[in-house]
């Protein structure tokens, strides 16, 4: 079992890893890509930079710095979290158990621009299969996404619901393994219902219509689970039952601890100033706090 798993290799995650490594925690850092730094063409308002750096350059330097200090880096996509007393982090490279976890994968993603998504949030639109599967037991549900995160959520739902279908909204499926979940690739026109989600309205498939096939434009579903792209910090915090703020960020205290003991968060996922300086500070604090928690847990 790992002492500490850090999810995210941006400024917050790397900063946490550096402090955790110097604290002799031997952390495992999970790198699922560059994230928001990719959009930064030039960074020149950060301490110690004689010349501006691109986000890509800063990201690569951070990874190399962590590796030079002996931090183990796993290149993998995180699919979700679970566990009791200790944490289980499910990835495309397997499941890893840890005493403590730091979430540092950036801010929450915007919901897709499909009519009905925002209107039905909390009334049939969900962002956490583990949290809400119970409410849809014996019912037909939909998962919105086209990758391994969506597949993972669908497989969490399958034992509870009567049926689950992954809707890719016109995107090509991009799953890394074989599965038995139904997939629909048609574009979604809207999510509809009277007071609660009742189904998805799909755009007509002209090719199928020309071939004389019967293509239903409305697909019944009692719930729609949004699982686009990869699992972010907010999604994982939800899966563990951590409290979020009114703006949907992970709620943390001064030690960067969430409302779940042993689960910490740092960087854009906690809201506030979306700057490298803030992410680095929070990552450092999270790394220190996680070390204190682990030592208490071990009775040292």
* 157 and 173 together in one domain: yes
User: Is 102 or 55 the better-scoring residue by pLDDT?
Assistant: 102
* 12 and 85 together in one domain: yes
Domain enclosing residue 209, as ranges: 125-226
* Residue of 119, 106, 134 whose CA lies nearest to 190: 119
| Contact indicator for 224, 119 with CB cutoff of 8 Å | no
* Residue 56, in any domain of the structure: yes
* Residue 26, in any domain of the structure: yes
pLDDT digit string (tens) for 261-299?
Answer: 999 999 999 999 889 999 999 999 999 999 999 999 998
pLDDT number for residue 238: 86
Q: Of 176, 196, 226, which residue sits at a domain end?
A: 226
* Residue 253, in any domain of the structure: yes
Give residue 128's pLDDT band: very low, low, confident or very high (50, 70, 90): confident
pLDDT digit string (tens) for 170-181?
Answer: 999 999 889 999
Percentage of the chain beyond pLDDT 90 is 67
* 81 and 56 together in one domain: yes
* 220 and 269 together in one domain: no
CATH number at residue 174: 3.50.50.60
| Contact indicator for 251, 245 with CB cutoff of 8 Å | yes
Least reliable range by pLDDT among 31-40, 59-68, 87-96, 244-253: 31-40
* Residue 115, in any domain of the structure: no
pLDDT digit string (tens) for 229-247?
Answer: 777 888 889 888 899 998 8
* 279 and 200 together in one domain: no
User: Is 101 or 227 the better-scoring residue by pLDDT?
Assistant: 101
* 105 and 238 together in one domain: yes
* Residue 131, in any domain of the structure: yes
- Work out the burial of residue 240: count CB atoms within 10 Å of its CB; fewer than 13 is exposed, 13-18 middle, 19 or more buried: buried
Query: Is 80 exceeded by the pLDDT of residue 78?
Result: yes
224 in helix, strand or coil? strand
Count of domains for the chain: 2
* 261 and 207 together in one domain: no
pLDDT number for residue 213: 58
Q: How far apart are CA 191 and CA 174, in angstroms?
A: 23
211-201-224-93 Cα dihedral, nearest 10 degrees: 30
* Residue 235, in any domain of the structure: yes
Least reliable range by pLDDT among 112-121, 137-146, 150-159, 180-189: 112-121
* Residue of 3, 6, 57, 58 whose CA lies nearest to 31: 6
Q: Of 226, 250, 266, which residue sits at a domain end?
A: 226
Q: Of 194, 226, 258, which residue sits at a domain end?
A: 226
* 150 and 286 together in one domain: no
* 137 and 213 together in one domain: yes
* 176 and 206 together in one domain: yes
* 176 and 235 together in one domain: no
Give residue 205's pLDDT band: very low, low, confident or very high (50, 70, 90): low
Beta-strand pair 188-192/199-202: antiparallel
* 85 and 151 together in one domain: no
According to DSSP, residue 116 is labeled: T
* Residue 114, in any domain of the structure: no
* Residue 119, in any domain of the structure: no
Give residue 6's pLDDT band: very low, low, confident or very high (50, 70, 90): very high
| Contact indicator for 73, 66 with CB cutoff of 8 Å | yes
């Amino acid at each position: 079992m790992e002492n500490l798993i850090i999810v995210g290799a941006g400024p917050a995650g790397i900063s946490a890893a550096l402090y955790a490594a110097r604290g002799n925690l031997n952390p495992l850092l999970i790198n699922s890509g560059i994230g928001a730094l990719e959009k930064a063409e030039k960074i020149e308002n950060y301490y110690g930079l004689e010349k501006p750096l691109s986000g890509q350059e800063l990201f690569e330097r951070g990874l190399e710095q962590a590796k030079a200090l002996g931090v183990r880096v796993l290149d993998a996509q995180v699919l979700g979290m679970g566990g009791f007393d200790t944490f289980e982090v499910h990835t495309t490279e397997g499941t890893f158990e840890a005493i403590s976890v730091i979430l540092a994968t950036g801010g929450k993603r915007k919901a897709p621009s499909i009519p009905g998504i925002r209107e039905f949030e909390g009334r049939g639109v969900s962002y956490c299969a583990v949290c809400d599967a119970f409410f849809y037991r014996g019912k037909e549900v939909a998962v919105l996404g086209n990758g391994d995160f969506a597949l993972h959520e669908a497989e969490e739902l399958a034992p509870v619901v009567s049926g689950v279908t992954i809707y890719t909204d016109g995107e090509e499926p991009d799953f890394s393994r074989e599965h038995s979940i139904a997939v629909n690739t048609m574009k979604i026109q809207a999510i509809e219902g009277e007071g609660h989600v009742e189904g998805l309205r799909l755009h007509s498939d002209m090719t199928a219509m020309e071939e004389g096939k019967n293509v239903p434009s409305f697909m019944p579903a009692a719930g729609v689970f949004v699982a686009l792209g990869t699992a972010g910090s907010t999604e994982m915090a939800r899966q563990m039952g951590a409290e979020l703020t009114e703006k949907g960020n992970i709620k943390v205290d001064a030690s960067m601890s969430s409302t779940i003991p042993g689960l910490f968060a740092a960087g854009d996922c906690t809201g506030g100033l979306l700057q490298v300086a803030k992410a680095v500070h929070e990552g450092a604090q999270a790394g220190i706090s996680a070390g204190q928690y682990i030592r208490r847990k071990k009775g040292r």
